[in-house]
Structure 1
């Protein structure tokens, strides 16, 4: 199991799920009487923690995991926490509380309200804070495990670049992009947001160049043209890179909702970028990430061999 990953903050989908749980007042199943589910080098994992982990995954990732899967993930986390402690890597409660408060604030909730939303979804503040602590520990533990970027050899990078070229995936472009924003103020009704999306979509269909988009926006209410930006293929997400690769200047991307409102991107210019440096950097980062995961998996496997894990 690849337990060590680059730590990420709670996703927008996770936050929305929690907010939804708070709004509809859905209650998860009542917890059974708490008992010890496992001992990891003498440290107990309680059955209530297992149930809450299942609720947390169901609420934030919209999927169901078995009791054993939840227990195994808690065992893995405990092993990593114990190893981090041996290496002198600790996370203070203040750091965890600060991150928990920041997430609640981002959702426009108090910490108590966030805790209630978690409880209504079958999880708890304890579970969420445990997840935060584990992510913060991983951030500290990963650099101590492997200097992945320097560990990737030039031969590995060259081989991967050659494979991309043989598959025809290596063509790189230099894009000039214009982002158009139909502002939707925070707190607006869903009906108003839908109206703005329709307005943005109607405007997008009339656009045939970046100049036309900027000129048209001048006469419209609460419509902004952001400064043009230059992006190389390797700097874009794979889906956006694929879409942009098949577009011509003057064409537009679909309307998307953002924190500012309804947005779409106009392709102003597109040229071949013969420089392989962006592709090389992308491949190096991919290989480095894989090296980190592999090293983390090896560490976890080694810890399991040495650990005394007792399932009850």
Structure 2
């Protein structure tokens, strides 16, 4: 599905004008102010979020900051429950994009985060939460009976709106995972990445992948089958679309280790399944719909949560 981008994350790049802000001293003493389902929110966390709101030219002070952090904690716990993992690499790339969009280097952005009291780590956690929540919303929308349409309904709606059946690329994909246990990431990740790069360089098509993997330890080859372009996972969509059949994507770090995707075949198709996939992707990409779903989903999480104020 198309990546769902929350309005807050989009607005951030626009709101960060990085004008010279007063360099204030921020207290380092920290006390637990809220507990959200056994997850503490400290006074220092709230100070950093209040500074973040100020940097975005938003008001509300400590109270607004606390409520934002409560919602972020609820969402983060739900992201964890859904086994959604956002890699350090993805977060770092998003941080770099934010800096570039404001004509800054990452070092300059680090300095702004420090001087304003936000801190780089707080901003990185905000980015991770936004990216994970985007995926959670996509999963919720796809499985929500109210947001599903049949293939025939999708075709009829498109035709009624004056459109034709859409054409999309159908991929046959193969996933190659060089497994790195969490406890061994620090010691083995770089070595495994070099091994994955070497195998990727030899990739000539999906038929020979398992033969190449035979002599390698802890390598998993998975046939993903038919995947339409609108259904590509957001983190893999651009790398997959940028290469042709018979090639493999760049190697990237994930929570499982390091991975790449092989493109077994790619062809243009137009059928009712394509119409359904495209229709759902377009509707999920509607900012009003995603904002409404986000508010509803968050309210449900808040209703079920145990929130204690200290």
TM-score normalised per structure 1: 0.49
Q: Whose Rg is larger?
A: 1
TM-score normalised per structure 2: 0.49
